[in-house]
Chains A and B, each alone.
Chain A
Amino acid sequence: MSTVNCPECDAEITLEASTEVGEILVCPDCGVDLEVTSLNPAAVELAPMEQEDWGE
């Protein structure tokens, strides 16, 4: 198993052996969606998420 750091909050995330490129993970600390962009070396990028809008 390899690890990556969340690009948002720097939390360490362990990738399971079954992880695939293109898979969307959720950071266990800050909750952002992360897209796995590479497995060797392991890498993730922020994936688009819905923004909150309470009145603009």
Chain B
Amino acid sequence: MFLKDYISDIFNAVKSLLTGMRRTGYYFTHHKEIITQQYPDTKQILPERFRGEVIMLHDENNEHACTGCTACELACPNATIKIVTKFDVSPEGKKKKALDTFVYHLELCTMCNLCIVACPTDAIKMAQTFEHSVFDRSLLTKKLNKPGSKIRDGVE
């Protein structure tokens, strides 16, 4: 009885081994099923919804759609966004609240997309970048509105 078990154990082990090796042999001869990508040489195109970092959209006249309403600042769970507003004086002498600086702390951001959903004017969106490493942490604090930019006419 002992001898029978012993031999059947050896037989089963060899059988298992061969089953496993058959898989290995299959992939050895089928190179097309190898899916490794050599990262810096071939870069995958990321889908449009991928959340990389928050950017502000500017058109060709260097105008954005941000009214400075701070909806994104309130929606953010990690205090990633800080909006500094100023008062623009129109030619008629009326004072109007406008965006001065859109401060974005990439180092605090968890890419939860809540600010994008909260924005009533679609001024900000997520960009498909992912290589965020820099040598100094202070470089990760960004000013999203470009210098000299102003709010697009008609956006309230």
Q: Do A and B bind each other?
A: no
